[in-house]
Amino acid sequence: MLMAVFAVQFDLFPTLDPQTGLFSRQMLWWLILPGVTIGTAAAANVMRIMRTSMAEELNKEYVTAARAKGLPERTIILKHVLRNSMISVTTVAAFLTAGLVSGSVVVENVFSWPGLGQELVAAIQLREMNLIMGITLLTGVVIVLANLLADIVYAVLDPRIRDEY
Question: Would residue 13 count as lying in a domain?
Answer: no
> In this structure, what DSSP letter does residue 15 have?
S
The domain in which residue 135 lies consists of 25-164
How many Å apart are CA 94 and CA 60, to the nearest integer?
26
Question: Would residue 123 count as lying in a domain?
Answer: yes
Question: Would residue 12 count as lying in a domain?
Answer: no
Q: Render pLDDT for 87-130 as a digit per residue (tens, 0 to 9).
A: 888 888 888 887 787 778 888 888 887 788 888 889 999 999 99
Question: Would residue 141 count as lying in a domain?
Answer: yes
Q: What is the pLDDT of residue 109?
A: 81
Contact 157, 80 (CB under 8 A): no
Question: Would residue 157 count as lying in a domain?
Answer: yes
> In this structure, what DSSP letter does residue 22 have?
T
Q: Render pLDDT for 45-82 as a digit per residue (tens, 0 to 9).
A: 899 999 999 999 999 999 999 999 999 999 999 988 99
Question: Would residue 109 count as lying in a domain?
Answer: yes
Question: Would residue 16 count as lying in a domain?
Answer: no
Q: Render pLDDT for 121-142 as a digit per residue (tens, 0 to 9).
A: 899 999 999 999 999 999 889 8
| Count: domains in the chain | 1
